[in-house]
Chain A
Amino acid sequence: MTFPEFSTLAQMTRALVLGGLYANWARGAFEAPRFDGDAGLVLLGQALLIYIGLTIGLGIVVQVLSIIIAVARGEESRPGDLDERDLAIERRATVKGFTIVGMGFMGMTLALWYGWGAIAAIHVLFGGFVLADVVVNLAKFVSYWRQRG
């Protein structure tokens, strides 16, 4: 397993865990009265910032751990060793991610149109970003899996 493959597996796991936590929290957000009104918007903003911080922080931790494990195991490639296949896989996955983000934006506009309210609409938009994170890493993992010898 090359470093890009190992790193993709680790980041996919990170994305699935955080995405699941966000989905669970967002589900509760629709049901709890404390999420209504301006106070609800403040709470939502705080929660989203925490999620973004966790994504960046955990992403860095996962990457560092991947590098340490790769070096310890004497992996065939090193961080930064991306050949044309790795770049092609990354490009295709990124396109899928942008598509999901676009769908999230359209979903947000539809939610506002149907009178869902600001908090719900923001959840739809942000949910697109969360889903894109999962989809990008999952798409890369599937590409690597399919191209195994």
Chain B
Amino acid sequence: MKGQITNTIRRLRFDAGEMTQKDLAEKVGVSRQTIVAIEAGKYAPSLELAFQIAEAFGVPLQDVFHFTRKD
């Protein structure tokens, strides 16, 4: 089963008082470039990092990352 993982990190950052990518990166312990790559869908984070990102926004994981099946 093939699929695509998308995310709403950019919107969540905006909703969280216009949090910068750098702020989010520091919160979850990665580089800003990693956050950039995740937002652009060019890098799929590990499960642990995904949970850390969701926790940084105070929302459930499924509110941050979405899996769309491709047939």
Contacts and interface: CB of A to CB of B under 8 A. Distances in A.
Interface string A70-94: 0000001100010111101000000
B36 A85 contact: no
A85 B32 contact: no
Interface string A1-33: 110010000000000000000000000000000
Interface stretch (A57-65, A110-118, A122-130, A141-149): A141-149
Nearest to B39: A149
How many B residues touch the partner, as a band? 10 to 19
Contact of A84 (B22, B40, B45): B45
Contacts of A76: 22, 31-33
A2 B31 CA distance: 8
Interface string B22-62: 10000001111110110110110110010000000000000
Nearest to B46: A84
Contact of B30 (A5, A85, A149): A85
A77 B31 contact: yes
Between B31, B32, B39, B49, the greatest number of chain A beta carbons within 10 A of the residue's beta carbon is seen for: B31
Nearest to B32: A76
A147 B31 CA distance: 13
A148 B31 CA distance: 12
